[in-house]
Structure 1
Amino acid sequence: MGHQISRRTLFRTASGVAAATALGGTLSACGGGTGAGTTSDKLTMTWWGSDDRHKAYKKALKYFQEKNPKIKIEERYSGYDGFFDRFNTNVAGGSAPDLTQMDTALVAQYARKGVIAPIDEYVGKSLDLTGFSKTLLAAGTVDGKLYGVPSGIGVNQLTINRSGLEKLGLELPDREWTWADLKKIAVEVNKKSGGKMFGVDDGGGGTLQAFEVFAREKGQPFFAADGTKLGFTADTLQEWWEYWVGMRKDKACPGPEITSAAHNNLTKNGLVIGKTLITFDIGVYGAGGSITKETLDFLPSPQGDWSGAREGNFVNGGVLLSATKASKRIEDSVKIMNFFAQDKTAIKDMQLQRGIPPTEKARSIVAPDLTDIDKRNMEAADYISKRVAKASNALPAPTPPPKGADQIWDLLFQSNLAVAFGKKTIKAQLGEFFDQAEQILAK
């Protein structure tokens, strides 16, 4: 997972979404059971992540148990692949963990199936959420109730090969740039590199958050609040695809071959393989470090450059910590949530392993020990979160995605690819996209 875990990341959690959906009936039947945990005298906690995240969690939890000797923790951790398949199996078998790291893409489904517990009654008591913004807490809120504490700020930002720009004699764009500015610098990259490089990845459909921000700038969310239909219009998607047709034509972004190869494969990302200098994929610089040796920087998603454009960026919650409803140790789980949210030692131990820390207090604690790139990463996220908080015309933070969201995100990618390869006209693909999306959401 990257430092900023945004709704772009949700596309990569399709296996988890599918697993939750497939076991929907089973989860519903098991919600409210009493079999959480496998060892009666220990609180079981599960999470996924890299080795660095595992080490950070273990170090922090060791300190917690020293300060809270009555709470013994059984730690279970793994990579992301298969994590929610195992979680579902444990829930169905009556052995759900007491406390789990939760994906923002799945929180709504697990909350509505009665698998995870609302924790509102603890807020202001054993759970101190001072410093957490309302937009950030929305990531763990379902139907008006809080089901998880966000670990950090997840924002939609672009990763820039800063050293690559400098080699071409180009400057880093201003943070208040527009979609027109993106095209201008992307075309310059192609020209100054003698046609060897492109400025930016194709965001026409291969990058979820790029279109979502664009639609929000038009005042349209990706999904309607009730999750029963799309929130954006055909005109908005048509304008978006036309923008990227122009980007491909002017050599500002690569052709569909590179876009297709990089889908869900960071090792083939345009910036990583040296074909582009700007990418929408924040996973290039993750909690385990960078997968490129280039010097990186970070910018907000471009702003709309038309009259009446709204703030399209938003803040997400990274990963969450959630208590299972079947657990008999919810109060102790909340103490652990509070520990990671507010304790100075825990904050220093975790650094950016679960995203950019969620409060200004936490960010000030970790800042002195960060690398230069980490500092730029955190500064950019902090800048975006403050800009969103000040914006008077921003839409509410997106609600947790509905059932079938993963299929629609993949449909968006495949639709853009069909246009890029010349297999379909924009007009023909628009009709097909909305017809299929309507069918998916109606299931």
Structure 2
Amino acid sequence: MGHQISRRTLFRTASGMAAAAAIGGSLSACAGGTGAGTTSDKLTMTWWGSDDRHNAYKKALGTFQKSNSKIKIEERYSGYDGYFDKFNTQVAGGSAPDLLQMDTALVAQYARKGVIAPLDEYVGKSLDLTGFSKTLLAAGTVDGKLYGVPSGIGVNVLTANISGIKKLGLDEPDREWTWADLKAFAVKVNKASGGKMFGVDDGGGGTLQAFEVFAREKGQPFFSTDGTKLGFTSDTLQEWWEYWAEMRKDKASPGAAITSAAHNDLTKNGVVIGKTLLTFDSGVYGAGGAITDATLDFLPTPQGQWSGAREGNFVNGGVLLSATKASKHIADSVKIMSFFAQDKTAIKDMQLLRGIPPTEKARSIVSPDLSDTDKKSMDVADYISKRVGKATDALPAPAAPPKGADQIWDLLFQSNLAIAFGKKTIKAQLGQFFDQAQSILSQ
């Protein structure tokens, strides 16, 4: 079971963001836009995920109830598709769950609509967040208040086909590498394979996390703090697109046809189909496990090699646990959040099913029972987390994305694709991208 969670992976389908976009309309009939909440004596808890995640939650909750017999829990769970549509309907009808698994990409919208409750008054009391870093808690923080407890750490990595690299007689790249190192390695792959393979998939647009790290290395966030405009400059995006144009030209990355086919279809990813040895798409080794038989390892996103480059990597929060604001059971929901954060049995039950565990304590608890690939996944996440924590020049962790973020991320992909297919020049596409992006954020 693999568990790197990227912000782009969360948006592989637009269903969650589309549901969130409908919040305002769905809640228009509710006083204050919060719904009535549940009045049952039972605390309702809902989540999405695989059968393995369902079973782990149920097992852990059974343990919780043994020592908290007065708290009766009604469990509701499903897949991700339709999860937030159903939640919106429940909120509007006054039957929202008390405690829910929340998407880090949507938390800001639900918080600002008054749907979920701030948790700050419980922190340090019934909510024990010992071991959680400030950068990690930022994933559940909106406008200075905590609305969700991160379940794990998600980091931005490249997934590497180690068996394929060794077959070509090449060495695996070092973790402390640069964008120039990535290009040099990718060119070697193409040459060593006789032109049959490319080193890395095209990160020019379809890989949000790669560009976000690149921009942060220049001190520029993807979005401004208030979410009303882009945080990076035209020069930065131009340099990025020029880098990938050179990568395609030098056969270090595949052409537009392969990139286009793989968009939102992991089965056509370059590593999966044997065309590339590195991919930015962490979904290749995601919550359902690997979708390739190759031996895998993981590498941090490269660092800037220019003078003054900053630490661009960051840690995000996997999924969150949040309480609905209208709930009559917020205090009990907080106890459950604290249980999942700190209880040894719960941590062992969940393993990596909600992301890499959020604290060093939790990671040490699950480590002995992991597969070799899971251990590699957790090790690189721990490595990045510690490096980011030590950095004195890193930007704050990205704020929760604003409304329209999914449209802008798709625009980034489509723009790079237009350049790769030769339909637009980089300079022409730059103007169009910034005009369209600002229009989206202004709505």
TM-score by length of 2: 0.98
1:231 maps to what in 2?
Answer: 231
2:426 maps to what in 1?
Answer: 426
* Residues 271-286 of structure 1 mapped to structure 2, 5 A cutoff: 271-286=271-286
Shift of 1:425: 0.3
1:320 corresponds to 2:320: yes
Q: Is the 8 A contact 1:11 1:208 kept in 2?
A: no
Distance 2:124 2:2 in 1: 30
Distance 1:20 1:145 in 2: 20
| Compared CA separation, residues 316 and 236, structure 1 to 2 (3 A) | same
Identical-pair percentage: 84
2:192 maps to what in 1?
Answer: 192
Distance 2:124 2:427 in 1: 53
| AA matched with 2:352 | L
Distance 1:183 1:172 in 2: 14
User: Deviations along 1:221-275, whole A, 9 cap, x unmatched?
Assistant: 0000010100000000000000000000111111111111111111111111111
The structure 1 segments of at least 4 consecutive aligned residues displaced by more than 6 Å after TM superposition are: none
| Compared CA separation, residues 123 and 147, structure 1 to 2 (3 A) | same
1:332 maps to what in 2?
Answer: 332
Shift of 1:14: 2.6
Residue aligned with 1:102, SS: strand
Distance 1:33 1:177 in 2: 47
Shift of 1:5: 1.7
Superposition RMSD in Å:
1.3
TM-score by length of 1: 0.98
* Residues 44-443 of structure 1 mapped to structure 2, 5 A cutoff: 44-443=44-443
Residue aligned with 1:54, SS: helix
| AA matched with 2:100 | T
| AA matched with 1:434 | F
Distance 2:33 2:193 in 1: 60
Distance 1:353 1:287 in 2: 7
Distance 1:242 1:422 in 2: 13
Shift of 1:13: 5.3
User: Deviations along 1:271-307, whole A, 9 cap, x unmatched?
Assistant: 1111111000111112221111111000100000111
Distance 2:9 2:273 in 1: 21
2:37 maps to what in 1?
Answer: 36
Q: Is the 8 A contact 1:2 1:287 kept in 2?
A: yes
User: Deviations along 1:159-216, whole A, 9 cap, x unmatched?
Assistant: 1001110111111111000001101111111111111111101000011000000000
Shift of 1:20: 1.2
Distance 1:345 1:149 in 2: 18
Distance 1:34 1:185 in 2: 54
Shift of 1:4: 2.1
Distance 2:82 2:25 in 1: 19
Q: Is the 8 A contact 1:32 1:325 kept in 2?
A: no
1:19 maps to what in 2?
Answer: 19
Q: Is the 8 A contact 2:314 2:397 kept in 1?
A: yes
| Compared CA separation, residues 117 and 13, structure 1 to 2 (3 A) | farther
Shift of 1:22: 2.0
Q: Is the 8 A contact 2:140 2:150 kept in 1?
A: yes
Q: Is the 8 A contact 1:28 1:114 kept in 2?
A: no
Residue aligned with 2:37, SS: coil
Residue aligned with 1:375, SS: helix
Q: Is the 8 A contact 1:44 1:97 kept in 2?
A: yes
Residue aligned with 1:70, SS: coil
| AA matched with 1:420 | A
| AA matched with 2:120 | D
Residue aligned with 1:46, SS: strand
Q: Tell me the matched-pair count.
A: 442
Q: Is the 8 A contact 1:28 1:115 kept in 2?
A: no
Q: Is the 8 A contact 2:34 2:114 kept in 1?
A: no
Shift of 1:27: 3.0
Distance 2:271 2:391 in 1: 31
Q: Is the 8 A contact 1:32 1:326 kept in 2?
A: no
